[in-house]
Structure 1
Amino acid sequence: LKHNLVVTQFFVFLYCKCLWRGLKFVIRKVTGRCELQRICHNNKPGARRTLKIESSLRYSKNELCQSALSAHPDRVEKTIDDIMTLKRVNPDTNPQLGISLQASLLQIVGYRGLVAKVEKLRREPYDCENPDHEEMLMKLWKTLRPDSPLTGRISKQWCEIGFQGNDPKTDFRGMGLLGLHNLLYFAEHDKATALQVLHDSLQPKHRWFPPLSHHLIPRSRLTTLQTPSRSTTPG
């Protein structure tokens, strides 16, 4: 019975795939436009158009279209020219298509590069022997506790800003340098809010409220995990 179900699902998949491709072929013949042309024509510049273009390229049966999603930013223009040639679209009679595709593809490869950089940062462990890492950590303390000199690198004082032990490096095991970067960015660029959150978290009536560091390091993990696989930025 299980074998029959698998076979049935396989044939249903093939049927739907063939039906969809056949439908796309008919639509192209009727409208005189390829799928990318229809997407750009029917959707205003923005996230919706970019999402549809990315989906079209990702699920294309052509390797050129699929590889376009990972093209280097410097090669985006050439990639668009190749795609238009592949789709038999005349750039002289359809100049706007190239412009629209280039804008969306630059957006797509840009956010993909950003996700890669963030993931690399997340995987980089905190190294107490690295002076740059230590400098960032000390800067975090001075920003949040400007009037309280740190008595030592290993100190219970770190608990005052939400770290769980005497050595804050252990709190970065899950998120690596990304957690530290998030904390430092928040403390430096929205210092008033960061200090207020820190103050509230240390009040007896707010003991339920997570301390600043304990709150933001796991949140950076959540944000990374929820980073969309598709672009949602208008443009």
Structure 2
Amino acid sequence: MACPEEGNLLGSPTPTMLGCIFQYLYTSFLRFLLKWVLRQLTGKCELQRICMGYKPGAKRTARAEYSLESSKSKVLKASVNAEEDTVEDYVEKIMKEKNIKEQKDPTFKKNLNSLLCQISGYNNLYRSVEQLRKEVFDCEKEEHEKMLLKLWDLLMPSTKLESRITKQWGDIGFQGDDPKTDFRGMGMLGLTNLVFFSENYTEAARQVLSHANHPKLGYSYAIVGINLTEMAYSLLKSGALKLHFYNSVEDRAQMKHFHLLYCYLAYEFNKFWILEEPESIMEFNLYREKFHEKVKKLLLDPDVTLILKGDSKN
């Protein structure tokens, strides 16, 4: 196990090295010894103690996830990636492996099922989001074209689109006459996020668009929106959104929950941009990173829920 520092000039161990050694001993030996001792004293396995010791939410789910991932059992390790239709089977296998009798702990089965739905649900959500991100916008597909035109109608209800390829797209923040080129990075995920926000928080989306068209503090609404899709995607991929979803979704996270997180980012970034008053759009990357860091700090709070307040059709 490599440590950042091997020792000082005199050869004595540094605090960093001692920390690495302790972490290695804990994860490879002491943790399992402690679990065994507590099992003997309480008559309950670690997962049972977690379910009994914490109320539903991120603190409980995150501890259960760590317990499952750290287990020497192949069944427990594999359960964090359970498919939706295999969760109940994993619950039965875990109870059998841990010798947990439902009669003695009648709430454990239900609690474990809920935990596995949340944990595996996050992993399955990432796979669904990734699949949509890889789906290329295709103007030959009717459903893609309808979604794009729907975005215009939601944001610009009183203005008719003159043609499919037109400079008017710049009015809602696309770079060129044909928006399809702007979706290359995030694919259909970017367009779906934009439409979801506009459809479910219509007034908020139009308000954000009006701010984006401000003569001094304006920015490209659609391009920035796609950029925020990339931010949401990267947070999901890194696991940074786990605490948020474990707190805000009781069962398994669905695609709509990712879209709702995007809505929060789109609305809050607009507020952040207006308050910061950048000199010009040329400073976008700087303020995007500042906003990104702000969000990442919020996501470290075990009680975090990043939900856009206000009316929604969801």
Q: TM-score, normalised by structure 1?
A: 0.88
Distance, in Å, in 2 between the alignment partners of 1:216 and 1:84 is 45
Residue 185 of structure 1: aligned partner: 196
Contact 1:46 1:233 in 2 (8 A): yes
Deviation of 1:11 (Å): 6.6
CA pair 224-83 structure 1, distance change in 2 beyond 3 A: same
Distance, in Å, in 1 between the alignment partners of 2:151 and 2:189 is 14
Deviation of 1:219 (Å): 0.6
Residue 114 of structure 2: aligned partner: 103
CA pair 11-201 structure 1, distance change in 2 beyond 3 A: closer
Deviation of 1:15 (Å): 2.7
The number of aligned residues is: 231
Counterpart check, 1:219 vs 2:228:
yes
Which of 110, 114, 117 is residue 128 of structure 2 equivalent to?
A: 117
Residue 94 of structure 1: aligned partner: 105
> Relative contact order (alpha carbons < 8 A, sep ≥ 6): 1 or 2 greater?
1
In the TM superposition, what whole-angstrom CA distance separates every residue of 1:124-161 from its partner, at most 9, and x where no partner exists?
A: 11112211111111111122223322222221111111
Distance, in Å, in 2 between the alignment partners of 1:223 and 1:71 is 23
In the TM superposition, what whole-angstrom CA distance separates every residue of 1:95-116 from its partner, at most 9, and x where no partner exists?
A: 1111111111122222322222
Distance, in Å, in 1 between the alignment partners of 2:37 and 2:79 is 25
Deviation of 1:47 (Å): 2.2
Distance, in Å, in 1 between the alignment partners of 2:165 and 2:148 is 12
Contact 2:132 2:189 in 1 (8 A): yes
Contact 1:198 1:212 in 2 (8 A): yes
Distance, in Å, in 2 between the alignment partners of 1:88 and 1:128 is 56
In the TM superposition, what whole-angstrom CA distance separates every residue of 1:12-47 from its partner, at most 9, and x where no partner exists?
A: 665332122222222222222211111111111222
Structure 1's unaligned 5+ residue stretches are none
Amino acid of the structure 2 residue aligned with 1:91: E
The structure number with the bigger radius of gyration is 1
Which of 170, 178, 182 is residue 159 of structure 1 equivalent to?
A: 170
Deviation of 1:123 (Å): 1.4
Deviation of 1:223 (Å): 1.0
Amino acid of the structure 2 residue aligned with 1:202: N
In the TM superposition, what whole-angstrom CA distance separates every residue of 1:155-177 from its partner, at most 9, and x where no partner exists?
A: 11111110011111111111111
SS in 2 for 1:233: helix
Which of 189, 199, 205 is residue 194 of structure 1 equivalent to?
A: 205
Runs of 4+ more than 4 Å apart: 2-5, 8-14
Contact 2:91 2:113 in 1 (8 A): yes
Work out the percentage of aligned pairs sharing the same amino acid: 40
SS in 2 for 1:95: coil
Contact 2:191 2:226 in 1 (8 A): yes
Residue 247 of structure 2: aligned partner: 233
